Amino acid sequence: METIWTGPAELDRALDDDVIGYGVEAPDGSVGTVIRLSPVPGFGHLVIDAGVWKFGRSVVVPAGLVTAVDGADRVIRVGCTKEQIKDAPRFERDQDTGDLFYLRKLGTYYASLAAASE
């Protein structure tokens, strides 16, 4: 599960505060916009404002699911579908992204998706 929280080494650029405001694209369409990054060492993730498709809620996607960062188009691509993101353990907008119980639950969910696709 450790790799679920670590962005791929082969990305063209790092996942740092410069990606706040970037759009996030899943293979099946737009997920939303990055509003913040993980403040927790060892649990790299994006907090995304998912807008209307998720009824104004935010979603969390671990850094290990990022497949590409396009600085020219200001887009981050992820390797999971919108439905998989939608089915992830729910994140409340005012929730602390440093909540380790939530992050472990989220990590277990996304790790199970990765294991199922192997």
Please state the domain extents for the chain: 2-116
For the segment 69-99, what is each residue's pLDDT rounded down to a tens digit? 999 999 999 999 999 998 999 876 566 656 8
C-alpha 17/C-alpha 19 separation (Å) is 5
| CA-wise closest residue to 94 among 54, 20, 36, 22 | 36
Contact 25, 73 (CB under 8 A): no
Confidence (pLDDT) at 99: 81
Superfamily name and number for 2-116:
PRC-barrel domain (2.30.30.240)
pLDDT at 1: 45
CB-CB contact of 87 with 26 (8 Å)? no
pTM for this prediction: 0.86
Reported as a single tens digit per residue, the pLDDT across 16-53 is 889 999 999 999 999 999 999 987 888 999 999 988 66
